[in-house]
Homo-oligomer: A and B are copies of this chain.
Amino acid sequence: YSLAEKLPNVSPPNIIIMLMDDMGWGDLGVLGQPSKETPNLDEMAAQGMLFTNFYTANPLCSPSRAALLTGRLPVRNGFYTTNAHARNAFTPQEIVGGISKDEILLPQMLKKKGYVSKIVGKWHLGHRPQFLPLKNGFDEWFGSPNCHFGPFNSSFRPNIPVYNNSEMLGRYFEDFKINLKTGESNLTQMYLTEGLDFISRQAEAKQPFFLYWAADATHAPVYASKPFLGKSQRGRYGDAVMELDYSVGQILDKLQCLGIEENTFVFFTSDNGAALMSGPMEGGSNGPFLCGKETTFEGGMREPAIAWWPGHIKEGEVSLQPANVMDLFTTSLALAGIDPPDDRILDGLDLTPVLLNLSEKLENRPTFYYRGNELMAVRVGPYKAHYWTWSNSWEELKSGINFCPGEEVPGVTTHNQTEHTMQPLIFNLGRDPGEKYPLNVLSKEYQETLRRISPVVQEHQKTLTPGMPQLNMCDLAVMNWAPAGCEKLGKCLQPPESKPWKCSWPH
């Protein structure tokens, strides 16, 4: 399949993926946030196609981002752990691993057609030198390898570096301020400027580009710049959303101002559901969906998603097509007229038939909900079958960590890992998007659905070859003590002796 064949007069468009961090489905006005504070995103949806059944591949940052950039499930691309069953793993500073050199990332593929690629914002696919963006296909980078946690004291733990391309520019809380008390930071402004500059430069050079705009202001600790602080009805989290919404508007305006909007495909989404355990001050909304980040309920994995491409995508469309961040890999290749890699299994589909109304929707496309090494649930059509359920452990819950605050569906939001493989819990997400009413196992609907889903799961599991897990080992010696460029800045720190251990992933 080649888009060029079907649309011969379309030249490969620029591609912009705007990936939010922990923003929830319900944070957009157009998706029911009562405060309706996202006029630019709502307008983007009105001018483009809104996906209401769009998913991430994993309910937390690192594996979700690895899936987006490889088009493959984390269990294939290695962004998971086998240290314990069904555990969420990511890339904190002490992680030894990162994106495998055997994986092919989207910017690497796009080079075949001369695309220049830039990532602005959070990387999160490993922070050791070989794992960084410029070693993995990106031509430019402004941002950070890890979350903006801190401040740290520099002896037991270094502050997270901010990079410009292959060298650090400084560190969070030292050179890049985040005021934890007031919530003030100019980072979103910087990310916006970096994005706009890149777009302008590429437009001037008349060179196709891929901009991966990965701002992280809605990840706790949430932040916003002064003009936005205190502006939201929703507190500081809402301020961050408003600044991101403003930034999205600025980026779309820039494309229009440069006259390249009809040659730029833009996609907006988020890496995982809202972090309800940080709510309400620093967590967003998952609308009508159950639970949030870290879980394989809809609140953890269903994402806001808007495609925008004036002149190509019809205005004001709503698509119910089940789609996925991994589709952005495959779809981007199709748009660029590049054949996807044929030496590996891809989980992403090409969404261009849906985007361009070229054909029927891809109705039966399954959605797989993984937590670490376990397939927790599967969606086929409107039906979702849970093979395993878990919110978090009783121990964590008792310590105050709650992924489902105010919600409790008996036998569903379990605090033990609960196996249902012999008799999965099945929900009809059409009439029960909140996963509150499991189908009666004796009903005809249940039996028919199980007969429909079971072969999909069997086929998936039979053919699945898990990748080498990259998120098993931790070591204090690998932290961001002395990133490239630290010498010039006098910012190098002395790493401790290497003492690797198997990382502990509590949920």
Contact = CB atoms under 8 A, between A and B. Distances in A.
A436 B281 contact: no
A233 B26 CA distance: 20
A68 to B, nearest CB: 22
Contact of A407 (B31, B36, B320, B408): B408
B408 A288 contact: no
Contacts of A26: 32, 287-288
Interface string A223-238: 0000000001111011
Contacts of A408: 406-408
A280 B436 contact: yes
A432 interface: yes
A34 B288 contact: yes
Interface string A413-449: 0000000000000001111111111000000000000
A82 interface: no
A412 B34 CA distance: 21
A285 B435 CA distance: 12
A405 B32 CA distance: 21
Contacts of A432: 279-280
B290 A430 contact: no
Interface string A325-363: 000000000000000000000000000000000000000
Contact of A405 (B29, B234, B436): B436
Contacts of A53: 34
Nearest to A236: B431
A290 to B, nearest CB: 7
A318 interface: yes
Contacts of A249: none
Contacts of A430: 35, 232-235, 238
Nearest to A46: B46
A393 interface: no
Interface string A298-322: 0000000000000000000010100
A320 B35 contact: yes
Contacts of A33: 32, 288
A52 interface: yes
Nearest to A52: B34
Given A408-B407, A436-B406, A437-B405, A428 B235 contact: yes
A406 B409 contact: yes
B407 A233 contact: no
A382 interface: yes
B431 A237 contact: yes
Contacts of A279: 431-432, 436-437
A229 to B, nearest CB: 14
Given A26-B288, A288-B285, A290-B406, A431 B238 contact: yes
B431 A235 contact: yes
Contacts of A429: 34
A45 to B, nearest CB: 10
A430 B242 CA distance: 14
Contacts of A235: 428, 430-431
Interface in A60-86: none
A47 to B, nearest CB: 13
A407 B434 CA distance: 11
A406 B407 contact: yes
A411 to B, nearest CB: 11
A432 B29 CA distance: 15
Contacts of A431: 233-235, 237-238, 279-281
Most B CB within 10 A of own CB, among A232, A233, A431, A436: A431
Contacts of A288: 26, 32-34, 285, 287-288
Nearest to A289: B34
Given A32-B32, A279-B436, A406-B435, 8 more contacts: A34-B429, A233-B430, A234-B431, A279-B437, A280-B436, A405-B409, A405-B437, A408-B408
19 contacts: A30-B30, A32-B287, A32-B288, A33-B288, A233-B430, A233-B431, A238-B431, A279-B431, A279-B432, A281-B431, A285-B288, A285-B433, A285-B434, A288-B288, A405-B436, A406-B434, A406-B435, A406-B437, A407-B408
Interface of A: 26, 29-36, 50, 52-53, 232-235, 237-238, 279-281, 285, 287-288, 290, 318, 320, 382, 405-409, 412, 428-437
